[in-house]
Structure 1
Amino acid sequence: RQLLLERHLMTHIQQRTGPSSPEYPAAPAGPAPRPVRRALLIAVPVTAAVVAAVVAVNTFGGAGAGGTGGGAGPENGQRVAAPVVQLEPGDTQPVSSVAEKVSRAAETQKFTAPRQDQYIYVKSKVSYLSIEENVDTNERRTMVQKLHPREVWLSPNGLKGWLYEPGFQPEDGISLDGDVEGWSYNKVSALPTDTKALLDRIYAYTDGDSSRDQQAFDTISDMISEQLAPPKISAALYRAGAKIPGVVVVDHAKDAAGRPGVALARTDEQTGERREWIFDKQTYAYLGSRGIQTKQFDDVKPGTVVERTAILTRKIVNKKKSHTPAP
């Protein structure tokens, strides 16, 4: 039953369908990308959601839900009802203007490139979707992880790292050594800064298994979240994201820390989840992201917030687990 449930959940999380963009037809595939961002964040959020659902089998009101029984894993007792907000419609008119302000802000940020023996440290506050399902009664509950801190250390080449996520991973954290997939600093910093060339490169990493426009938007999401990029690359990524069909501006958005901002967003055609990149309204600095359900999907109602993140710290350090900025 656990194996069937895991397959069911992974299908809902990873499987997408949709047409190719006429502006960016299918391109020769590059290195195989990871799944959607929920899996890309060091593959932990999806794993946590699957584990949470599996251990919740037949335990509504029991150990799996209450956190006092055995065998529920590190996420035991760390799930709450998903918040629901009033859904604000997006607007296509200000997309170019907002994207340009965000890009200009990114171009002026102070930046020092990391050495290959250093680490990119990102501290954030996060909450991801966590499904509880009773396979005997076929009951499902849409839950989310409690808002919690998350710290990650990544080497520029992506070959070394460490993840600390108390309550959701082993107490001391887990090693990310050998985690060679995804977008490392070295890969991101080698991208072109020309908007058209960059977008062509991003679309080259998509496939025909789902909406290529959504895949492109999610790919940029991965690069601007738990990663570091040179200012000109960051600016190009925002300009490229604004060119993806379906992108809108949401005037009122909040990150996981409760900070208000304006968002560039896109709704997944299949699942109805809208992924929002949230920026400070004054400085246009990137704050974090939010995922909101825009239509009924399984038991997830419109307005349900299925994902929240807030970037609190991003800096270069000399070794794993260090919080001291490199001089």
Structure 2
Amino acid sequence: MDDLTGLREWETGNVQLTPRARAAAQARLLGAIDHETRRGARSGLPRRLVLRGAFVGATAAAAAGVTVAVTRDPDDAAAPNLTTLSAAQILRKAADTSRADRGPLPVPRDDQYFYTRTYTARTPRNGGRTRTWTDESWMSVDGSKPSSRQEYGKVHHDPPLTDHEVQWPPTVYTKLKKLPTDPDELLAMFRRGRPDSPQRDADTFGEVCLLLQGPRVMPPGLQSAAFEALADIPRVRIDRDEVDVLGRHGIGVSYPGIGFAFLFDRETYAYLGLRVEGFTNKVVNGRWQRTDPYEETRSLQRIAVVDGIGQRP
């Protein structure tokens, strides 16, 4: 019995799904099979048991009503192209893209620097002109040398890190390499054994955003693992028609109540950067207050390994 035949037989003996819900079930099933097959490969479970769990979860979710959008192939008006509105599926596609695109970055030596160039655009939410910055940073690979970084056009000179200094997210490459590249292990690390709750998931989502916002360089497999870990967090959602600092339209993935969203290319699911919601802190009547809310997008555009501060690729 193939998987979609199972869906039809399940429907025969249970509730009759509307066409919209049936399409949702098929889409959810395909996504669940993909996810559970990956999980099963890591756990060693037989494929039949893996797919049974995926089937039950997908059909139950579809009966409850999963949102999907049906589009058509412009070259074939009679052939529908099903696109699910599942944030988890987009994150897994982004993980696949990240894993496949490792780029030409060489393995760095401890005495070298990571060069990054970041584009940032900030727009006041109450009206006003958009400000843009192009920031460059030179971060010591092992932290033993001074580093130089820009934030919103201002240059900061950071002294060498000490052995006892605790920094999160880490910028030292050897510490980043110690983070798990298995999605389940990485998610467990972020959750730290805390009980299941929306607050735990919100904190986890926020910490992954901090990990990926830079300037730092991800060792192979870490960024893709982070996206797959996020895919297992309930309540992640899609923000449609996001625009990054370069004007590229993409898909945003966010979590309710968190002022960060990941931006992905609509076609390739390549990671474009982050959307950030924030406030300006000002002293008002002798007290610090949040004023002037803004929204900004950040896009890491260039990564390279260089031998010294001021050197560009």
Q: Secondary structure at the match of 2:211?
A: helix
Match of 2:116? 122
1:277 aligns with 2:271: no
1:249 aligns with 2:241: no
2-side partners of 1:194 and 1:306: how far apart? 32
Residues 187-226 of structure 1 mapped to structure 2, 5 A cutoff? 187-204=175-192, 211-226=199-214
TM-score using structure 1 length: 0.55
1-side partners of 2:68 and 2:260: how far apart? 12
Aligned pair in 2 of structure 1 residues 239, 149: CA closer, same or farther (>3 Å)? same
CA RMSD of aligned residues (A): 3.5
Residues 171-182 of structure 1 mapped to structure 2, 5 A cutoff? 173-178=155-160, 181-182=167-168
1:291 aligns with 2:291: no
Match of 2:87? 95
Conserved 8 A contact 2:260-2:276? yes
The superposition leaves residues 271-317 of structure 1 with CA deviations (integer Å, 9 ceiling, x where unpaired) of xx541111122332221111258xxxx777xxx75222122212222
1-side partners of 2:308 and 2:114: how far apart? 9
How far apart are residue 175 of structure 1 and its match? 0.8
Match of 1:154? 139
Letter in 2 for 1:287: L
1-side partners of 2:117 and 2:218: how far apart? 16
Higher share in helix? 2
The superposition leaves residues 129-177 of structure 1 with CA deviations (integer Å, 9 ceiling, x where unpaired) of 889xxxxxxxxx88787211111111223454101357x42xxx32122
Paired residue for 1:311, among 300, 305, 308?
300
2-side partners of 1:263 and 1:285: how far apart? 12
Task: Provide the aligned length of Structure 1 versus Structure 2.
Answer: 210
2-side partners of 1:118 and 1:195: how far apart? 29
Paired residue for 1:112, among 106, 111, 116?
106
How far apart are residue 128 of structure 1 and its match? 5.3
2-side partners of 1:195 and 1:309: how far apart? 25
Q: Secondary structure at the match of 2:221?
A: helix
1-side partners of 2:98 and 2:301: how far apart? 17
Q: Secondary structure at the match of 2:239?
A: strand
Unpaired runs of 5+ residues, structure 1, are 1-88, 132-140
TM-score using structure 2 length: 0.57
Conserved 8 A contact 2:181-2:222? yes
2-side partners of 1:90 and 1:217: how far apart? 24
Q: Secondary structure at the match of 1:267?
A: coil
Taking every aligned residue pair, what percent have the same amino acid on both sides?
22
Letter in 1 for 2:210: D
Letter in 1 for 2:91: A
Match of 2:226? 237
2-side partners of 1:260 and 1:202: how far apart? 30
Q: Secondary structure at the match of 1:231?
A: coil
The superposition leaves residues 176-212 of structure 1 with CA deviations (integer Å, 9 ceiling, x where unpaired) of 2235522223222211122121111122399xxx933
Higher share in strand? 2
How far apart are residue 104 of structure 1 and its match? 0.8
2-side partners of 1:144 and 1:201: how far apart? 41
Q: Higher RCO, 1 or 2 (CA under 8 Å, sep at least 6)? A: 1
